[in-house]
């Protein structure tokens, strides 16, 4: 089986490259290969591929910057994935697309179900909703996989930021009233590879959730990072209102992942195990 993957250096794309199983090959497209701000170019790449399935692991991820550059974010996260999905539908090959917990308003304390209404609180979330709707409208075999709080040994993420700051400072103030599931990029990559194989063999896609367990807060996640890395930096939990950002963040990012487990037999990852693996790689 052969895959076409949009993305090459991001967290999930990097892990997809590293974790390709025997018998599966992939072409990875970076910024030099295709401009994600050009939906037509993305569609043409798909039209010319001989791949059995396409994974979109590329995205505009600068959440705060999207507040002032929403049109650009929507091109990358909305129009281009929609064009990819349409081209895949025309070729009758599966299209797998990564989305986010930020499509939800983030109120309450109940885990959000895939079928719950979307109501994003920031421009980034709106751009991802735009992409989800376009992908579904394409009408082909598609999987939209919403995830949250992605971390790895690569790129920019919360774990790497905490490690750097924890080595520089004795104390950090971290938000303690936002709840979610940190998700190792390795687990997302494995889930996508498994789902792609099953969809090529005829499995249905749909909208699904996949996030790490157990649910935690950013402050408790930071405390676990410090403890497992052997750092003495103390974490002071603060309210979201004490840490203003250009883009509003949802306070409830809990995701109900049971439907994905039932459909694809993929269990939720324990983020603490994933954190240990990332720390071993970063600190070795």
Is 216 a residue whose pLDDT tops 90?
yes
Task: Say how far residue 263 (Cα) sits from the centre of its chain.
Answer: 19
* Residue 228 in domain: no
Average pLDDT over residues 25-50: 97
Average pLDDT over residues 259-284: 97
The rounded distance, in Å, linking the Cα atoms of 177 and 174 is 9
Average pLDDT over residues 218-230: 98
| Per-residue pLDDT, 284 | 86
Strand duo 216-217 + 179-180: pairing: antiparallel
The percent of residues above 70 in pLDDT, for the chain, comes to 100
Is 187 a residue whose pLDDT tops 90?
yes
* Residue 116 in domain: yes
Active site residues: 124
Q: At what angle do helices 11-18 and 185-200 cross, to 10 degrees?
A: 60
Q: Tell which residue, 120, 112, 12, has the closest CA to residue 66.
A: 120
* Per-residue pLDDT reduced to its tens digit, 165-177: 999 999 999 999 9
* Per-residue pLDDT reduced to its tens digit, 193-204: 999 999 999 999
* Residue 166 in domain: no
Is 269 a residue whose pLDDT tops 90?
yes
- Chain mean pLDDT for the chain: 97
Q: CATH number for the domain including 26?
A: 3.40.50.720
Is 274 a residue whose pLDDT tops 90?
yes
Task: Say how far residue 193 (Cα) sits from the centre of its chain.
Answer: 14
* Residue 225 in domain: no
Q: Tell which residue, 100, 88, 13, has the closest CA to residue 61.
A: 100
* Residue 121 in domain: yes
CA 216-217-221 angle, to 5 degrees, is 80
Average pLDDT over residues 53-74: 98
What is the DSSP annotation of 30-65? -TTT--TT-HHHHHHHHHT---SEEEE------TTG
pTM of the model: 0.97
* Per-residue pLDDT reduced to its tens digit, 7-20: 999 999 999 999 99
* Residue 120 in domain: yes
Domain total of the chain = 1
Residue in the structure block whose two tokens are 């990852």: 269
* Residue 174 in domain: no
**Which residue range(s) make up the domain with 122?**
2-153+181-212+254-269
* Residue 222 in domain: no
* Per-residue pLDDT reduced to its tens digit, 120-162: 999 999 999 999 999 999 999 999 999 999 999 999 999 999 9
Alpha carbons within 13 angstroms on the beta-carbon side of residue 130 total 21
């Amino acid at each position: 089986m052969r895959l076409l993957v949009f993305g090459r250096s991001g967290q999930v794309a990097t892990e997809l490259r590293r974790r390709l199983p025997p018998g599966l090959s992939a072409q990875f497209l970076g910024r030099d290969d295709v401009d994600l701000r050009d939906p037509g170019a993305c569609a043409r790449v798909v039209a010319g591929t001989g791949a059995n399935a396409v994974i979109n692991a590329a995205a505009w991820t600068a959440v705060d910057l999207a507040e002032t550059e929403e049109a650009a974010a929507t091109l990358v996260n909305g129009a281009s994935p929609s064009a990819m999905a349409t081209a895949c539908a025309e070729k009758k090959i599966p299209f797998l697309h990564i989305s986010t917990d930020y499509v939800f308003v983030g109120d309450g304390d109940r885990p959000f179900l895939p079928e719950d209404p979307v109501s994003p609180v920031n421009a980034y979330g709106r751009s991802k909703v735009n992409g989800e709707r376009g992908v579904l409208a394409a009408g082909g075999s598609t999987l939209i996989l919403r995830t949250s709080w992605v971390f790895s040994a690569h790129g920019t993420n919360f774990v790497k930021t905490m490690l750097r700051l924890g080595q520089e400072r004795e104390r950090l103030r971290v938000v303690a009233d936002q709840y979610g599931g940190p998700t190792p990029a390795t687990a997302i990559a494995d889930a996508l590879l498994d789902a792609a194989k099953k969809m090529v063999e005829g499995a249905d896609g749909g909208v699904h959730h996949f996030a790490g367990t157990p649910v935690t807060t950013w402050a408790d996640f930071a405390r676990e990072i410090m403890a497992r890395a052997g750092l003495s930096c103390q974490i002071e939990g603060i309210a979201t209102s004490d840490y203003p950002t250009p883009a509003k963040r949802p306070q409830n990012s809990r995701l109900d992942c049971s439907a994905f487990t039932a459909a694809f037999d993929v269990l939720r990852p324990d983020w603490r195990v994933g954190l240990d693996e990332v720390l071993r790689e970063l600190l070795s």
